[in-house]
A and B are shown apart, each in its own frame.
Chain A
Amino acid sequence: QVQLVQSGAEVKKPGASVKISCKASGYSFTSYYIHWVRQAPGQGLEWMGIINTSGGSASFAQNFQGRVTVTRDTSTSTVWMELSSLRSEDTAVYYCSRDYIPLGGRYSDSWGQGTLVTVSS
């Protein structure tokens, strides 16, 4: 079955970077894009960006441009999301999800378990 398994929780100091992995299994990795979504404590969902796992191109929300890098390794079916210049407001659970495009739509059909990133001095 489709599975997305993310790396474990991280604690970082302000100004540092964090790199989170998302390992996919149970499907053809390069046939589906991967989204990144985050959720600050007690807050709603915030869409961060998306990567084309085949070609490697990515698109990000304006809030994150210049601070986020998303890469993938097709040999291991893994996507990495790196967020730099961390500040306290980046404390959140970060999710990867698989992009599914049926006729007339587009949605995240499978999600990773989430990775908690805590930014604290």
Chain B
Amino acid sequence: DIQMTQSPSSLSASVGDRVTITCQASQDISNYLNWYQQKPGKAPKLLIYDASNLETGVPSRFSGSGSGTDFTFTISSLQPEDIATYYCQQYDNLLWITFGQGTRLEIK
């Protein structure tokens, strides 16, 4: 199975800050990576698919990049409503889909 290592596990930042989360795959997964936002008590929400494509309706301050084994998720200017846990998810092998451990984002 493909392991996803997400970092950091938690992050504290100020409103307006640029925030970056990374996800590393244990093997080459091309750009078969998605990013989700999960707010407390809610289902995850798709933000970025295929590593860099913004899901319809998602604010443009969210972005993703990377290919192969190293991926980055960025919030260009942190807003109070962005407080959540963020997960990467690989689907290189549709026979075994895996998620990263999650990054909890807090306001400083």
Co-complex (A, B)? no
Chain B residues in the interface with A (C-beta under 8 A): none
A interface residue numbers (CB < 8 A to B): none
